[in-house]
Amino acid sequence: MTEKLILFFAGLAVGVAGILALNAMTDDEAGIPDGREAARLSTENADLKAGNQELRQTLEREREEFQQDLAAVRREAQQALAEIVPAAPVTPEVPTGADLGRPSEAQIEAAMREFAGSLQGVIMGEGDEAKRKLREFFARVDAADLALVVERYKNESDMEVKIVIAHALAQSGRPEAIEALTDIILDRNRAFTDRRFVAHGLAFTGNPDLHPLLLDVATNDPDRGTRANAAFGLARDGVDEGLKAYAAATDEAFAEQDPAAMQYLSGFYLLGKPALPYIRERLDTYKEPQTRVTLIQLVKKEKDREALPVLTRLVNDPTAGKAVQDAARQAIELITAPEEED
């Protein structure tokens, strides 16, 4: 391959010298012949031009081959070097935290919108990635900008936006945000919606350090919705006092025929098995058919065998209503069905 490269350069030098020599000739040096001699020279000149064109083409082909050979040599050299000294793993530098810089107001707004799209997943217990991204983002938010987010929460009139901000602040991982939310929820002079949404946001943090605060709110806040949200957070974390407080708020809502009472039952769907003793007890005490059907669906979902006695009573009780009897019968069939083998 080295010999081929040398020949390429030699041919290139000869060709260039010939072309430069032709371009440098003057009319006197070349002479201006007449007649047949001129015709002969013209023919030779045409042949020379054709030869030069062929030389250019040859040189171009040689140049392309040279580039290909040179690339092959480089690849072989790199491969040989890699076998002798393995390349160290390259870790890409991914800027995080303060390295990314302080987010703009527009970026904060965009982060809120992105989190809003994941909020349902957070509530259903499937939003770990969304929470992680939010915490990483809020780690870059300046303290003054964080205070503006808190102020926006206080002044926001759109309830859908307000609950997103409450959850975002609760999940931000910033102590200043938690402190601000604590001040809001303990201020009984604030609108109940302000306290209620803060309780809802804090309920999904899973932070045991907040349990004393949530228990105080679940026990003492004058607003039932705020108490229920705080109690739900405790129950979700496995705190018995929270489950009892949530059940009490639910009973109170049904007793007062609160239109939101059925929404409280959806909380037991999220709580799952720990809520089953409460649900079984209410299957007997709640007489409204739609409420009973909802409770039956909850024990059916968990395949609660301890609910079979009360379900059997409902199937055999004509006063329960056809919808309740049918729901109870279907639940019994599902619960008692043999387990499918893998």
- Helical spans, DSSP H, in the chain: 2-24, 27-30, 35-84, 105-123, 128-138, 143-155, 159-171, 175-186, 192-203, 211-220, 224-236, 240-255, 261-271, 276-285, 289-301, 308-315, 322-336
Mean pLDDT of the residues in the chain:
79
Count of the separate structural domains present in the chain: 2
**Locus of tokens 């720990």:** 274
Report yes or no on 104 lying in a domain: no
| DSSP code of residue 141 | S
Q: What is the predicted pLDDT for the residue at 76?
A: 54
Which amino acid, 296? I
Report yes or no on 61 lying in a domain: yes
Q: What is the predicted pLDDT for the residue at 284?
A: 86
Report yes or no on 132 lying in a domain: no
Q: What is the predicted pLDDT for the residue at 259?
A: 87
Report yes or no on 56 lying in a domain: yes
Whether the Cβ atoms of residue 225 and residue 196 lie closer than 8 Å to each other: yes
Q: What is the predicted pLDDT for the residue at 37?
A: 53
- pLDDT tens, position by position, 118-153: 888 888 888 889 889 999 999 999 899 999 999 999
Q: What is the predicted pLDDT for the residue at 33?
A: 43
Report yes or no on 5 lying in a domain: yes
Taking Cα atoms as reference points, which of 183, 239, 185 lies closest to residue 207? 239
Sign of the alpha-carbon dihedral angle for 139, 144, 147, 148 = negative
Q: What is the predicted pLDDT for the residue at 213?
A: 97
Residue-number span of the structural domain to which 64 is assigned = 1-23+50-83
CB atoms within 10 A of CB 138: 21
Q: What is the predicted pLDDT for the residue at 98?
A: 42
Chunked in runs of 10, what are the mean pLDDT values of the chain (342 residues)?
37 33 36 49 57 60 59 51 39 41 86 87 84 90 92 92 94 94 95 95 94 97 96 95 95 91 87 92 90 93 94 94 95 90 58
Report yes or no on 321 lying in a domain: yes
Report yes or no on 232 lying in a domain: no
Residue 246 buriedness (CB in 10 A; 0-12 / 13-18 / 19+): buried
Report yes or no on 110 lying in a domain: no
Whether the Cβ atoms of residue 295 and residue 282 lie closer than 8 Å to each other: yes
CA dist 100 → 71, 114, 133, 171 (Å) = 39, 18, 14, 20
